[in-house]
Amino acid sequence: MQPFKPVLLEAIGVPDGHSITSYKSRGGYAPLEATLAGKQPSDVIDMVKASGLRGRGGAGFPTGLKWTFLPKDHPGPIYLCVNADESEPGTFNNRLLMEDDPHQVIEGIILSSYATRATTAYIYLRYEYPKSWHRLQAAIDEAYAAGYLGKNIRGTTFSLDIYLHRGAAAYICGEETGLIESLEGKRAWPRIKPPFPAIEGLFRKPTVVNNIETMACVAQIARRGVDWFKSIGVPADPTNPRDPGSYGPKLYCLSGHVEKPGCYEAPLGITARELIDRFGGGVWKGRAAKAVIPGGISMGLMTESELDTPLDFAGPGRVGCLGLGTAAVVVIDDQTSIVDFLHNSARFFAHESCGQCTPCREGTSWSLRILERIKAGKGRLKDLDILLELGSTMGMMPGSTICGLADGAAWPMKNAIKKFRGEFEDYIKRTNPSGWMVTDPVPALQIVGAH
Amino acid sequence: MTAQRTYLTDEMVARIEALAPRYPNRRALTLPALHIVNAELRHVPLGAVAEIAAILGLAPAEVQDTLTFYQFFHQEKPHGTVRAFVCRSVSCALRGGDHLLEHLCQKNGVEPYGTTADGELTIEPAECLGACDFAPCILANDDLLKNMTPETAEAELKKPRARAT
């Protein structure tokens, strides 16, 4: 791997790095001033499109392309919603950016609003980040005082307000239309698409929803240029015209059974093994990894032998995972029961299913009930097939749900059972010697509450 | 005409109204209003829901519908002076999060989501707190408690803390 200097995380550990003075001393807000003085909104869109930036929130959709879906010559208002609901288990990169370098995020928001002609930007921030809340609000106040926000910014016709809006501990608010519904004051039930938010989003107006790290990337592209951004990462596959490539630096969150958990910046395409060994100090206690989550729990599992998979947008999919997701890498050591892991995953999704679509509400709740029973020593081999059937029938991909939460619930289930079936079978046979072969219906152990 | 209110003070109403210019309609004030009331009362009783609805021009059922969805706002009685969210999601679970939760509940004589008899402490399981680099972790009011052990957590939760904002 080529030598690499962190850019997005440049302010980490810098005294007072979250202040506007520090940010400007590092070159911040100069690109915004230059943009407002001499560039059209379409120039900013072209820059972001040319950079190949793909959204950092999980889906990896090309950011510039998303912006072009907004209707042309719309009378307004157009809204920008910045997704700071970061709730995917294992993920904390946005927290670092908001706490330690909030102006980088705000400059990105201002540039993106200028590009999309948004006049109001809402940052939808999860409740669990009180420090981010205070740091962001202080930074927004500084940006108003410095004339980067408000009416007629830098003497132009461009006006922008940024408001913080606080969530209330619900994972589904990270889904872009769930976020919009929540911001409107309602239960966060995702919407059927189309219409996509770009056409009819927040308050039924054209809306762009972008992640915090995506905003920071926009600020850095404006400062360092398209060529810099494209010089990092994995180029598009020339034989596949639909591959947009994986350009730029990425924040990888490393946690679980590693010696040095943390958020590390690396070029897109670093392998899980490099990340664990070079940044994380290896698997903890000198052990080996049994499995690794490539990008938040909903992306599924890689086995030890799959750890050389590059963590770019296309890599995890090649080993049966759902995708790169949030690039949150969670290491599970060889002393951990994969049954326990899957139970933990199922509990999360049963708790966080919003309850709108029956296959997800019932599917996540029944998977948890079955896993409770398996864990309690009353499992049957047949349960594994039932779990796989649930996993293959709930979600957007099989076409049974409105949003992708159910796909995210299904993926760890499918990966765990397919890649570690032997361990599940051994566990079931060992803990239920008289009943593992039963195929008749058996009662659930307990009723699980959901939304 | 001044409305008669039991739960919402004039100060709370003023804080809610101060946010109104940020949104094109009043329904969007629902979550901010719930947070403002909850921060003061440490719960949002049904009577307060009706008062919020009256201020926002909504049916009480609309506000109640939103409130119940999030499972964040206690309704029956206030949560403790300290509200501790103990993370149980994957990264914390791999480093003892479930054990931590069990230990704290047992030591304080409460079930998960319960409040101690003196009203000082509420212990709630939480899904990923976004601090996996410090697993296992707890959010106690506005304070993130990092790399907790059952012993350090027990001691930390006995300390007085500023109210959550």
Interface pTM, i.e. ipTM: 0.97
Pairing of strands A302-303, A289-293: antiparallel
Residues A412-429, mean pLDDT to the nearest whole number: 98
Q: What confidence score (pLDDT) does residue A138 get?
A: 98
The answer to whether B132 contacts A261, with C-beta atoms less than 8 Å apart, is yes
Q: Does B22 touch chain A (CB under 8 A)?
A: yes
> Count of CB atoms within 10 A of residue B102's CB?
15
Q: Are A223 and A31 in contact (CB under 8 A)?
A: yes
Which chain A residue has its CA at the smallest distance from B130's CA?
A92
| Measured distance CA(A354)–CA(A74) in Å, rounded | 33
Q: Tell me the domain boundaries of chain A.
A: 20-231, 248-333, 338-431
Q: Which pair of structure tokens corresponds to residue B38?
A: 């909850």
Supply φ then ψ for residue A246, to 5 degrees. -130, 80
Q: What confidence score (pLDDT) does residue A4 get?
A: 86
Residues B119-135, mean pLDDT to the nearest whole number: 97
Q: Are A245 and A238 in contact (CB under 8 A)?
A: no
Q: Does B11 touch chain A (CB under 8 A)?
A: no
Chain B nearest CA to A214, separation (Å): 18
User: All domains of chain B, ordered by start, with CATH?
Assistant: 10-70 (1.10.10), 82-156 (3.40.30.10)
Q: Give the helix ranges, DSSP H, for B42-72.
A: 46-56, 60-70
Q: Which pair of structure tokens corresponds to residue A50?
A: 């040319």
pLDDT digit string (tens) for B11-23?
999 999 999 999 9
pLDDT digit string (tens) for A156-194?
999 999 999 999 999 999 999 999 999 999 999 999 999
Q: What confidence score (pLDDT) does residue A447 get?
A: 56
**How far from chain centre, in Å, is Cα B120?**
14
Pairing of strands A79-84, A207-211: parallel
Q: Which amino acid appears at position A341 of this protein?
A: F
Nearest one of A124, A146, A147 to A136, comparing CA atoms: A124
Burial B147-164 (b: 16+ CB within 10 A, else e): ebebeebeebbeeeeeeb
Q: Does A87 touch chain B (CB under 8 A)?
A: yes
Helix (H) or strand (E) holding A35: helix A30-38
Q: Kindly report the pTM of this predicted structure.
A: 0.96
Chain A nearest CA to B79, separation (Å): 15
Confidence of residue A446 (pLDDT cuts 50, 70, 90): low
Percentage with pLDDT > 90 across chain A: 96
CATH for A338-431 (1.20.1440.230, 3.40.50.300, 3.90.1150.10, 1.10.260.40)? 1.20.1440.230
Chain A nearest CA to B103, separation (Å): 18
Is 80 exceeded by the pLDDT of residue A438?
yes
Q: Are A154 and A33 in contact (CB under 8 A)?
A: yes
| Measured distance CA(B5)–CA(B52) in Å, rounded | 10
What residues are paired with A92 via a beta bridge? none
Mean predicted lDDT score pLDDT of chain A: 96
CATH tag, A20-231: 3.40.50.11540
CATH tag, A248-333: 3.10.20.600
| Measured distance CA(A292)–CA(A236) in Å, rounded | 26
Q: What confidence score (pLDDT) does residue A442 get?
A: 78
Q: Note the residue count of chain A.
A: 451
Which chain A residue has its CA at the smallest distance from B73's CA?
A168
The answer to whether B132 contacts A126, with C-beta atoms less than 8 Å apart, is no
If DSSP codes are grouped into helix, strand and coil, which group holds residue B142?
Answer: coil
CA-based Rg of chain B, rounded to a whole angstrom? 18
Confidence of residue B111 (pLDDT cuts 50, 70, 90): very high
